[in-house]
Amino acid sequence: MKYPLPIENLIECFSKLPGVGSKSAERFALSTLNLDQDVINLFSSSLLDVKTKIKRCKKCNNLTDENECAICKDKSRNKDLLCVVEDAKNIVLFEKNGLFNGYYHVINGLISPLDGINPEDINLDMLIKRIEKDKVKEVVIAVKPSIEGETTALYISKLLKNKNVKVSKIAYGVPIGADIDYVDSLTLEMALENRQQINDN
Amino acid sequence: MKYPLPIENLIECFSKLPGVGSKSAERFALSTLNLDQDVINLFSSSLLDVKTKIKRCKKCNNLTDENECAICKDKSRNKDLLCVVEDAKNIVLFEKNGLFNGYYHVINGLISPLDGINPEDINLDMLIKRIEKDKVKEVVIAVKPSIEGETTALYISKLLKNKNVKVSKIAYGVPIGADIDYVDSLTLEMALENRQQINDN
């Protein structure tokens, strides 16, 4: 004895989501019984739409339902600046807070030889070509502070050597509001190494 | 700047699930991009099916996609025993482990005057009528050990007074494998109160 077939199917689908075990999937599936018909219709059609309509922006690899994403289409931005991010999710994070007014480029992964991800797997060709074509003046690398992130940043800066482009990466250090007692040693080391002078001597 | 509309819609739908916040909903929605088309199709159609095809069994209130659920249709079960549960989920739990071979009745809630749930709200009429009609010999109340559960059990046993039906409830006590040091005092009190003689004196 199990649940009726539609519920069993739904439990199976929910359990394919990241971090959702069989108990949570069961809970989610049963809770859909209480959702409004409107929500269910939207839920059902959005799932199909996401799979069929969402593609990658031809220019920057961002998620979009058009040929070019909304950011690449926006001509009012600063075309001298290009921010390199690992994932399309990161763009939303930067944009939500209005932190950056240049363009973005999603590389979809970081170099990680241990996991079998080599430079040619993360489509850096497209990035370099774009930088040359658009005459970008500064490339800001905004990937996570990890061995893979550092390797990728270093690799990109080597590829751009002698190309008359400034390459920078976001600062790694003690986060604002953190208690310095509880910051891990690697972050502290980074923060010390990247210390900035605050007087004029 | 947000995600393209289909993704935003999907995030909104996922965030309506119990215990899913905006961050998890975002994660779920983006992960659907990596699901196979087959899974997406099943996911989408199951959502619609659950809402349209799933109803309550006319006899026991269990979830079913037919008029009568699979358990009520199974004539090989012991019709003398009727197990009263709070939720259709509980039936699956009992059945998964093959613990009970009588029939079930889902009351869909427990009496809880503080939350405004009175006896007439949990459809006990249907239960009493069924017990009389089917000539049930023993009603086993399997609801959670709480004030609401106890109240409901007591209320049902009062309704069945002088009707020649044995009413029992599942044992509450120390769970198997538990370290007695860590069992809460209420459980311990229950376990002491419901102690069972193990010799013949």
- Tokens (6 digits) for A82: 């290009």
Average pLDDT rounded to a whole number, residues A114-138: 90
Q: What span, in angstroms and rounded, lies between the C-alpha atoms of A112 and A196?
A: 30
What pLDDT score was predicted for residue B136? 92
**Hey, what are B157's tokens?**
């046993």
> Contact A54/B4, CB-based, under 8 Å?
yes
Chain B residues with CB-CB distance to A7 below 8 A: 46, 50, 54, 63
Task: Closest CB to B4: pick one of A31, A63, A89.
Answer: A63
Q: How many CA atoms lie within 13 A of B30 on its CB side?
A: 16
Closest CA to B144 of B121, B103, B111: B111
B201: pLDDT strictly greater than 80: no
Distance CA B135, CA B186 (A): 36
A contacts of B96 (beta carbons < 8 Å):
1-2
Give the range among A145-154, A179-188, B57-66 with minimum mean pLDDT: A179-188
The residue in chain B having the minimum alpha-carbon distance to the alpha carbon of residue A68 is B4
Which of A35, A47, A89 lies at the smallest CB-CB distance from B44? A47
d(C-alpha B141, C-alpha B85), whole Å? 7
A96 close contact with B: CB closer than 8 A: yes
Summarised one tens digit per residue, pLDDT across range A61-108 is 999 999 899 999 999 999 999 999 999 989 998 888 888 899 999 998
Q: Which residues contact B84 (CB under 8 A, 6 or more apart)?
A: B104, B105, B107, B127, B139, B140, B141, B142, B143, B156
What does chain A look like in DSSP terms, one character per residue? Answer: ----HHHHHHHHHHTTSTT--HHHHHHHHHHGGGS-HHHHHHHHHHHHHHHHH-EE-TTT--EESSSS-HHHH-TTS-TTEEEEESSHHHHHHHHHTT---SEEEE--S--BGGGTB-GGGGTHHHHHHHHHHTT-SEEEE---SSHHHHHHHHHHHHHTTTSS-EEEE---SPPTT--GGGS-HHHHHHHHHT----S--
Decide if A101 contacts A78 (C-beta within 8 A). Answer: yes
Q: What is the pLDDT, as a whole number, of residue B1?
A: 58
| CA separation for the pair B96, B135 (Å, rounded) | 27
**Whole-number Å distance between alpha carbons of A3 and B71:** 11
As a whole number, mean pLDDT of residues A17-38 equals 94
Identify the pLDDT of residue A104.
94
Q: Helix H segments across B67-196?
A: 70-73, 88-96, 124-133, 147-159, 185-193
Spell out which residues of chain A touch residue B1, defining contact as CB-CB under 8 Å: 70-71, 91-92, 95-96
Interface of A with B in 58-87 (CB under 8 A): 63-66, 70-71
| Out of A47, A49, A64, closest to residue B43 by CB | A47
Q: Higher model confidence: residue B201 or residue A151?
A: A151
pLDDT given at position A186: 84
Mean pLDDT of A16-20: 95
pLDDT of residue A55: 92
Q: Is the pLDDT of residue B196 over 90?
A: no
Q: Domains plus CATH for chain B? A: 5-53 (1.10.8.420), 56-169 (3.40.1360.10)
pLDDT at B29 over 80: yes
Q: How confident is the model at residue B97 (pLDDT cuts 50, 70, 90)?
A: confident
Tokens for A177? 């509001």
Of the listed ranges A186-200, B16-30, B86-100, B162-176, the least confidently predicted one is A186-200
Q: Contact A41/B48, CB-based, under 8 Å?
A: yes
Task: Determine the distance in angstroms separating the CA of B98 from the nearest CA of chain A, rounded to an integer.
Answer: 9
Residue B96 has pLDDT above 90, yes or no: no
The confidence band for A1, taking pLDDT boundaries of 50, 70 and 90, is low
The answer to whether residue A171 neighbours chain B at the CB level (below 8 Å) is: no
Q: Which residue of A has its CA nearest to B74?
A: A1
Q: Return the pLDDT at B162.
A: 85
A51: closest chain B residue by CA: B33
Asked if the ipTM is above 0.85, the reply is no
Q: Least CB-CB distance to A44: which of B7, B47, B63?
A: B47
Tell me whether residues B47 and A28 touch, CB distance under 8 A: no
Percent of chain A with pLDDT over 90: 60
Q: Using one digit for the tens of pLDDT, what is the confidence trace for B100-147? A: 899 999 998 899 988 898 888 887 888 999 999 999 999 999 998 888
CA A105 to chain B, closest CA, distance in angstroms equals 15
Nearest CA-CA distance, residue B52 and chain A, Å: 9
Q: Does B178 touch chain A (CB under 8 A)?
A: no
- pLDDT score, position A129: 92
Please report residues of B whose CB lies closer than 8 A to that of A70. Answer: 1
Between B28-32, B49-53, B123-127, the lowest mean confidence (pLDDT) is in: B123-127
The answer to whether A104 touches A83, Cβ cutoff 8 Å, is yes
